[in-house]
Amino acid sequence: MTLIDNAVYVDGVRLPDPHSLDETYALMGERGGMAWIGLYRPTAEEIRSVENEFGLHQLAVEDALTGHQRSKLERYGDTLFVVLRPARYLDAEERVEFGEVHVFIGPGFVVTVRHAESPNLGAVRHRLEGNPELLALGPEAVLYAILDEVVDEYEPVIAGLQNDIDEIEAQLFGGDPDVSRRIYDLLGEVMDFQRAAHPLIVMLEALLKGAEKYKVDIEVQRGLRDVLDHVLSVVGHADAFRATLQNALTVHSTLTTQRQNEEMQRISQNNLTLAEDTRKLAEASIKQGDEVKKISAWAAILFAPSLIAGIYGMNFDHMPELHWVFGYPMAIGGMILLMVILYSVFKRNHWL
């Protein structure tokens, strides 16, 4: 049922409850006083009924029907239309849930239209009914009480966001890879919270500025000033949260870049070590090659006289220059000449 509560108050005292909107209108006609009609996601028929009875502006009624409005205050003649964005912190999910409530106030009536569970307007009504003197001050007193409830419900949100930010600081310096996503999500919630709370400053200042013109009771004015003080505190916290989270993003980016630089330095150091090992291996290979060249060169030089000596060491009777007087000196000279030639060739080619 969309009609949550429906009552008529005379001098701050609740009359016997009417059973329908038509009975409410009739009772107002008989007894006067103030009607307070509470609707939850009303049907078009219900909202059109109060529109026709109280002369609500069509644009404001359309806003109340469709919802999804920003926080605002608009005046249509003697009627005020207020859109509020209450919020509550869900501990289990660690997130902020935003609601929406529309308030119409005019001479002798208050109509509230909720699109979410928050705020608890039943508690507001119960508290005002316990204070008939305040309730007797009229629709402006009801609007003050609703504003006060919305702002009071912001306090647990502030505490929850503060706790989340404290946790993020620990995650940030603990190297948690998921911290950037949580910062972005929390920053979005804080910005939504700012959009809900910031307009209340202008709204409350406008209400206080027009208080004398519209003969708002001094006690209601004092209450509105108190709510304004609370709103300024809430907005200050929200602004500080946003700045902190933006700084956290900057720090996270710096830390990420630093870690990447350290990783690159480590990789570079490993590459340098690998290059040094490769260089040493190459030097060892070159050195080994040089040694092989030297050994091979000396082996070739020593092989030349061995070849000649081996040939003339054969035991054959018929060999050239075997009985020649100069055969031995010629063989020795040939050995020496061949060794010198080979040594010169290897030396020129840097084998020796």
Closest by Cα among 139, 136, 180, 176 to 37: 139
- What is the reported pLDDT for 167? 87
- What is the reported pLDDT for 119? 82
Q: Is 280 exposed, middle or buried (0-12, 13-18, 19+ CB in 10 A)?
A: exposed
pLDDT digits (tens, 9 = 90+) for 300-352: 767 767 766 766 666 656 566 666 666 677 777 777 877 788 778 777 777 76
pLDDT digits (tens, 9 = 90+) for 20-63: 889 999 999 888 899 999 999 888 888 889 999 999 999 999 99
pLDDT digits (tens, 9 = 90+) for 146-183: 999 999 999 999 999 999 988 887 787 776 777 888 88
- What is the reported pLDDT for 320? 65
- What is the reported pLDDT for 54? 93
DSSP letters for 74-117: EEETTEEEEEE--EEEETTTTEEEE--EEEEEETTEEEEEESSS
The DSSP call for residue 28 is H
- What is the reported pLDDT for 325? 63
How far apart are alpha carbons 14 and 155 in whole angstroms?
31
pLDDT digits (tens, 9 = 90+) for 201-219: 999 999 999 988 888 999 9
| pLDDT band at residue 240 under the 50/70/90 scheme | very high
pLDDT digits (tens, 9 = 90+) for 107-119: 999 999 998 877 8
**Structural tokens at position 11:** 């001098």
- What is the reported pLDDT for 124? 93
In a 3-state reduction of DSSP, which class is residue 14? strand
Topology (CATH) of 3-260? Beta Polymerase; domain 2 (3.30.460)
pLDDT digits (tens, 9 = 90+) for 258-292: 777 777 888 878 878 887 878 888 777 777 777 77
Closest by Cα among 85, 234, 248, 229 to 156: 234
How far apart are alpha carbons 298 and 125 in whole angstroms?
114
**Structural tokens at position 327:** 């055969």
Distances in whole angstroms, Cα of residue 207 to Cα of each of 70, 74, 220, 221: 18, 11, 10, 8
Give the pLDDT mean for 244-270: 80
Residue 227 has pLDDT above 70, yes or no: yes
